[in-house]
């Protein structure tokens, strides 16, 4: 009997790509980009934080593909729209969502909810819980391995 399939980075990347496409389609009628959505979500879910830490966190997310300049522009746009404060890198902070930003995130979550429900429909809740634990563990372990790796010589 063949061994069960092994979870690979490609599996995770393909799932991430498919979910990203679904999110982008759900957000399209709102006029809010997925980057704006993710930045708002980070501000609301993670709570107030130092502006430098926020910039570094967003710039170091390969799935976002944002340069440091793009992160600064993204966050400046959220501030200009009244959805965040204290996000400029030279700000004393804290970087945080405004009540208007939190309300916008709630509306965006509501707009995406039908797609998210459809995405997970048919999966057993216990399987989703296992998948969540595995992905959290994979993320933590990959971060540990990156932190342990010696710098690459140029």
List average pLDDT for each run of 10 residues in the chain, which is 154 residues long: 81 94 96 97 95 96 94 98 96 96 97 96 96 94 85 59
Angle at 59 between CA 148 and CA 81, to 5 degrees: 150
Residue 19 lies in a domain: no
* Torsion angle in degrees (nearest 10) through CA of 54, 55, 59, 64: 60
CATH number of the domain to which 105 belongs? 1.10.10.10
**What ranges make up the beta strands (E) of 92-152?**
96-97
122: phi then psi, degrees, rounded to nearest 5: 90, -15
Is the N-terminal amide bond of 94 cis, ω within 30° of 0? yes
- Total count of domains within the chain: 1
Residue 2 lies in a domain: no
8 A C-beta contact, residue 73 and residue 39: no
Which structural domain range is residue 79 located in? Answer: 27-143
């Amino acid at each position: 009997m063949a061994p069960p399939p092994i979870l690979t980075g490609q599996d995770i990347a393909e799932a991430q790509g498919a979910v990203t496409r679904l999110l982008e389609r759900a957000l399209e009628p709102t006029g809010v980009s997925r980057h704006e959505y993710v930045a708002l979500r980070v501000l609301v879910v993670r709570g107030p934080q130092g502006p430098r830490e926020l910039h570094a966190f967003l710039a170091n997310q390969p799935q976002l593909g944002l340069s440091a300049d793009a992160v600064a522009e993204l966050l400046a746009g959220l501030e200009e729209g009244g959805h965040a404060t204290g996000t400029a890198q030279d700000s004393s902070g804290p970087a945080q969502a405004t009540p208007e930003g939190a309300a916008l995130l709630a509306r965006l979550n509501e707009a995406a909810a039908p797609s998210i429900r459809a995405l997970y429909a048919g999966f057993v809740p216990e399987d989703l819980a296992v998948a969540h634990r595995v992905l959290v563990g994979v993320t933590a372990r990959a971060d540990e391995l990156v932190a342990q790796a010696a710098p690459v010589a140029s």
